[in-house]
Amino acid sequence: MKRKVLSIICLSLLVLVSILNIESNAKTILNIKMNKEEINVGEELDLTIENGDVSAAACTIWIYFDNDKLECLTKLDNLNVINNRIIYTWISENGYNTELTNFLNLKFKAKNAGIASFTIITEMYDEKGKEIEMDSSATAEIKIIEENSQKQTKNNESNSLNLDIMRLDIEGIVPNFSPDITEYYIVVDEDIEKINVTAISESDNANIKIDGNNNLKNGINKIIITVSIGDNTKKYNINVTKTDQKEKANTNLETLAVENYEISPEYDENITMYDLEISNTEEKLNILAIPEDMKANVEIKNNENLQYGENAIEILVTAENEITKRTYILNVYKRNEEEEKAYKENEQNIINESNALIEKISSSDDGYIDKNEQDIKEVNETKELQNNIIMWVGIILSIVVIIIVIIRIKKEKKKSKYINKIY
């Protein structure tokens, strides 16, 4: 009976805690909307960032995009475009929370055909300087195509060695296909003798040859897709491990991070290529690369004497079986002195604006309350009253349940004594 009482009390308390935390656990969802599902080269695209009816007083947004396929046309004082990254900062004019449903509208122009991706990362703060809890990242893709009349002409004259499509009849290839990525990885069972490969080039002038997809042997196999036009060639490699011990062929990283910097996109074991931008003073990066299988080996290459502009750091993971390998690439852009100066000026502007917002919020404590602040105060007081009512109702219900249980226990004890007297 005591256990029954304890269980009822715990259940009541859990219900009460759940009720009180409904509002605090609510999350705002970041969303990307585009006015078209696909566009032609030379056509413009409207992209809108939505924040699910969130209200905020300040925020910073990072937008990563394929700048080889898209050009950002939007020009704003608080928006900076650096290579493949857009940095947007915003602070409420009055220092108070403002509703940000359709928050930021950007316009892009398509430069080259292919699949262009967007990655959005945001940080938002309320009028008290507290970060707003939300799903802070989102991704989207847009397909860019040539107009039919142009495409036929281009295909007939094109010297592109890129593949437009590459598919296998077996799932599990890493990473997802991209024309610019030439190294892929897959682990298959021992009973697989052949992998059917579909490969279609971007150009009608190209010849495609596929080798190594038949008579797969145990261990490492390499399927090579060669795209050629005349004497020019490009090769796509699919590294196939055939084994009955897949756990020993694990080349996934548990963690991939760079000290003081964020990689883009966020680390995922199925993505092998990442971008980041670093200071002009960095000569070497502190890279944390931890494998899922602690018996695997990790080797970092090309992380010395980083130069201005583009650098490619390789992270080679060798599996426990010592034959399966995978290479992760960090495409590192090192700012030059002029770019570093512009970057620091932008950072300082953000700090100054944030300090001004904090000072404005702090100064409102001198007893002056305008209409907006009064409205906010009334809303907060109403919410506090509602929470107090819910809390006391929960407490009263719990007490009532406990009293009922105690009365029942006493009745049962009395009944038990009465029965003992009779017998």
Residue 75 resides in a domain: yes
| Range in 201-205, 219-223, 276-280 the model is least confident about | 201-205
Q: Is the distance from CB of 277 to CB of 292 less than 8 angstroms?
A: no
The verdict on 133 and 41 lying in the same domain is yes
pLDDT of residue 392: 77
Of the candidates 328, 255, 264, the residue with the CA atom closest to the CA atom of residue 292: 255
Residue 392 resides in a domain: no
Dihedral sign of CA atoms 359, 365, 371, 375 in order: positive
pLDDT at 134 over 80: no
Q: What is the pLDDT of residues 163-190, one digit of tens each?
A: 989 999 888 899 989 898 999 999 999 9
Measured CA to CA, the distance from residue 280 to residue 273 in angstroms comes to 22
Residue 91 resides in a domain: yes
| Range in 51-55, 85-89, 169-173, 402-406 the model is least confident about | 51-55
**Residue 259: which CATH number?**
2.60.40
The verdict on 184 and 239 lying in the same domain is yes
Exposed, middle or buried by CB within 10 Å (0-12, 13-18, 19+), for 362?
A: exposed
- Overall average pLDDT of the 126-135 stretch: 80
Last residue of a domain, one of 219, 244, 269: 244
Residue 317 resides in a domain: yes
The verdict on 163 and 209 lying in the same domain is yes
pLDDT of residue 301: 95
Dihedral sign of CA atoms 284, 251, 65, 159 in order: positive
pLDDT of residue 149: 38
Residue 50 resides in a domain: yes
pLDDT at 219 over 90: yes
The verdict on 140 and 157 lying in the same domain is no
The verdict on 229 and 260 lying in the same domain is no
The verdict on 155 and 139 lying in the same domain is no
- Reported as a pLDDT band with limits 50, 70 and 90, residue 346 is confident
| Range in 30-39, 97-106, 199-208, 410-419 the model is least confident about | 410-419
pLDDT of residue 288: 95
Exposed, middle or buried by CB within 10 Å (0-12, 13-18, 19+), for 377?
A: exposed
The verdict on 143 and 33 lying in the same domain is yes
Residue 174 resides in a domain: yes
- Reported as a pLDDT band with limits 50, 70 and 90, residue 295 is very high
The verdict on 265 and 325 lying in the same domain is yes
- Overall average pLDDT of the 137-144 stretch: 84
Last residue of a domain, one of 244, 271, 287: 244
pLDDT above 90: percentage of residues in the chain: 39
- Reported as a pLDDT band with limits 50, 70 and 90, residue 364 is low
Which residues have CB under 8 Å from 348's CB, separation 6+?
none
Residue 344 resides in a domain: no
Mean pLDDT estimate for the chain? 81
pTM of the model: 0.51
pLDDT of residue 382: 66
**Residue 113: which CATH number?**
2.60.40.680
The verdict on 159 and 129 lying in the same domain is no
The verdict on 234 and 276 lying in the same domain is no
Measured CA to CA, the distance from residue 120 to residue 139 in angstroms comes to 6
The verdict on 108 and 85 lying in the same domain is yes
pLDDT of residue 78: 86
Q: Considering only CA atoms, give the Rg of the chain.
A: 30
Exposed, middle or buried by CB within 10 Å (0-12, 13-18, 19+), for 245?
A: exposed
DSSP state of 365: G
Q: 132: helix, coil or strand?
A: coil
Question: Per the structure, how many domains does the chain have?
Answer: 3
The verdict on 291 and 262 lying in the same domain is yes
pLDDT at 360 over 80: no
pLDDT at 386 over 70: no
Of the candidates 175, 354, 152, the residue with the CA atom closest to the CA atom of residue 272: 175
pLDDT at 11 over 80: no
Of the candidates 71, 77, 22, the residue with the CA atom closest to the CA atom of residue 47: 71
Residue 137 resides in a domain: yes
Q: What is the pLDDT of residues 300-340, one digit of tens each?
A: 999 999 999 999 999 999 999 999 999 999 999 999 999 88
Last residue of a domain, one of 92, 124, 148: 148
Domain span at 323: 252-334
Q: What is the pLDDT of residues 225-277, one digit of tens each?
A: 999 999 999 999 999 999 999 999 999 999 999 999 999 999 998 899 999 99
| Range in 6-10, 158-162, 247-251, 321-325 the model is least confident about | 6-10
